[in-house]
Chain A
Amino acid sequence: MNGNGVKQISVFLENKSGRLAAVSKILGANDINIRALCIADTSDFGILRLIVNDPDRAYNVLKESGFTVSATSVIAVQVPDRPGGLAEALSILEEAGINIEYLYAFVTRMSGHALVILKVEDVDRAAELLGAGGVTVPRPEEVYAV
């Protein structure tokens, strides 16, 4: 995983009751804290995406519990908590022709800022462009520790 990439843990879930609870229970029992999450779903299945304080251990404990898990490199962006804050960051990527596959916001906030997770093809290039455009891109360790 590269320097700017935040390690996101993705879990395959069937669309039935209790699956999300099962994941959070396993993470809780292993003292792993969820920082941000989102679910993309269809009528049959869903993909749970997680940012946690210890992604490597989360990957292992979920895998050992029988889940299908993958680690994906995403980018965290700090945007000012005001109208238009997100738009500034996104327009930088748009102008550079970088396609955003999905994005979601953090549950917690840094003071005066919101944290947004972006999935793009080329994490390093996106980080570079955002940095040059004056957008703060926190390092992965900072994100895990939020």
Chain B
Amino acid sequence: MYWKEELECMPVAERRKLQLARLQAQVKRVYETVPYYQRRLRERGIDPTRIKSLDDLAYLPFTTKDDLRQTYPFGLFARPMSDIVRLHASSGTTGKPTVVGYTQQDIETWADLMARALVCAGVGPDDIIQNAYGYGLFTGGLGIHYGAEKLGATVVPISAGNTKRQVMLMQDFGVTVLSCTPSYALHLAEVMQENGIDASHLRLRIGIFGAEPWSVSMAHEIEHKLNLMALDIYGLSEIMGPGVAMECPYKNGLHIFDDHFLPEIINPEMGEQLKPGEEGELVITTLTKEGIPLIRYRTRDVAVLYDDPCPCGRTHVRISRILGRTDDMLIIRGVNVFPSQIEHVLLEMGQTEPHYLLVVDRKGPLDCLEVWVEVSERLFADEVRRLEELEQAIRREIESTLGIAVKVRLVEPKTIERSQGKAKRVVDRREVYERERR
């Protein structure tokens, strides 16, 4: 089953022509409408009219999250605000988020690609989709929602949280598809078990799980506990949101919708392109995005590209599951967390040289984040009450910045290991990334 067979199964040579035409138009457009890109391309002496093949992509400059930060909030938008119909945002590396804007056409393209992703997973118009991704600035909730409606399926826009209610509606409505983060899927399974609900009595058949890294063994565990097929969806707000790539039931990697998103794998240190089958950083150029087109966006996600055919018949190249990060970003309960955000909070609170450590663990199925803060002489008070107040104040500030609950622990100086003068900032005790390649 396909959503748009002619696009999904297009002969590779034909798609390459389409990609080139779209790349040429896109580069020309950003050159003409985004001063930041115009300057970057001029600095490198790149004439946007002289892109003759897809190989010329390698000459174009990368775009990073830092570029988005420097042009915060709307500096990379290629359209006036009157054309922008929606904004989404994700975590930035400091106090400010990363903002993206969508035109009406972008929203339609997104819904169409998300419908393509759902059909790729085996979802159809008769399905009832319980969408437990968060609705809001995060792209997960609304992204899946629009795609499901476009497909003609029935959406239950329940958003995240309130697990008991989720379980009740799943039973009462005869929900067939669950979309949420994989860790939340495990949490749902646990709550069902606690309440004596047998998943095999539910009508669930497909899980659309993403927004955080997860391993094949975790997928097996979810499939076993929820009695459904667990499929991996990939996306990021900078590029669009969910629906950039989707695993099909053959589980051969995720089909990246490369008529809209041109993928490359690069060596994260030197920046050169790597071949299919080689592990490196995923870089994506948006080919059709109007609101905020990005050229060679460094996703910081580590993956492998596969270009061999998939039995499902789709000719899109595929990416592996995400194998790691090339920066220190953590994904906790679907929320992106940068250690620098926490450093920023501590600096704002008047600590001159904060020593802190993020300890991430998975207690049961849910991730928890502990922030260890060394008590310097400046922070130390002789009274318990004052130290507890300090702990609370740090916790509140961090929670309001990150948007997730954290536990703050005050620790003795030098508790946090310093390696060659640079402190280690993260201890991740979860095993979220797939260790082995396919």
Contacts and interface: CB of A to CB of B under 8 A. Distances in A.
B414 A70 contact: no
B380 A42 contact: no
Contacts of A70: 377, 380-382
Nearest to A101: B383
Interface stretch (B269-277, B327-335, B405-413): B405-413
Given A12-B375, A42-B388, A67 B412 contact: yes
Contacts of A14: 410-412, 415
A19 B380 CA distance: 17
> What is the interface residue range for chain B against chain A?
10 to 19
Given A12-B375, A47-B382, A68 B413 contact: yes
Contacts of B340: none
B387 interface: yes
B413 A67 contact: yes
A66 B414 contact: yes
Interface string A15-41: 000010000000000000000000011
Contact of B380 (A40, A66, A68): A68
A44 B415 CA distance: 14
A19 B415 CA distance: 12
A129 to B, nearest CB: 22
A6 interface: no
A49 B381 CA distance: 12
B384 interface: yes
A70 B375 CA distance: 12
Contact of A40 (B384, B414, B415): B384
Going nearest first, the 10 A-B pairs with the smallest beta carbon separation are A10-B382, A40-B384, A72-B382, A68-B380, A66-B414, A12-B375, A68-B375, A14-B412, A45-B410, A12-B380
Interface of A: 8, 10, 12-14, 19, 40-42, 44-45, 47, 49, 66-70, 72, 101-102, 119
23 contacts: A8-B382, A10-B380, A12-B380, A14-B410, A14-B415, A40-B384, A42-B384, A42-B387, A42-B388, A44-B409, A44-B410, A45-B387, A45-B409, A45-B410, A68-B375, A68-B376, A68-B377, A68-B380, A68-B413, A70-B377, A72-B382, A102-B383, A119-B382
Given A41-B384, A47-B384, A49-B382, 15 more contacts: A12-B387, A12-B410, A12-B412, A13-B412, A14-B415, A40-B383, A44-B410, A45-B410, A45-B411, A47-B382, A47-B387, A67-B412, A68-B375, A68-B377, A119-B382
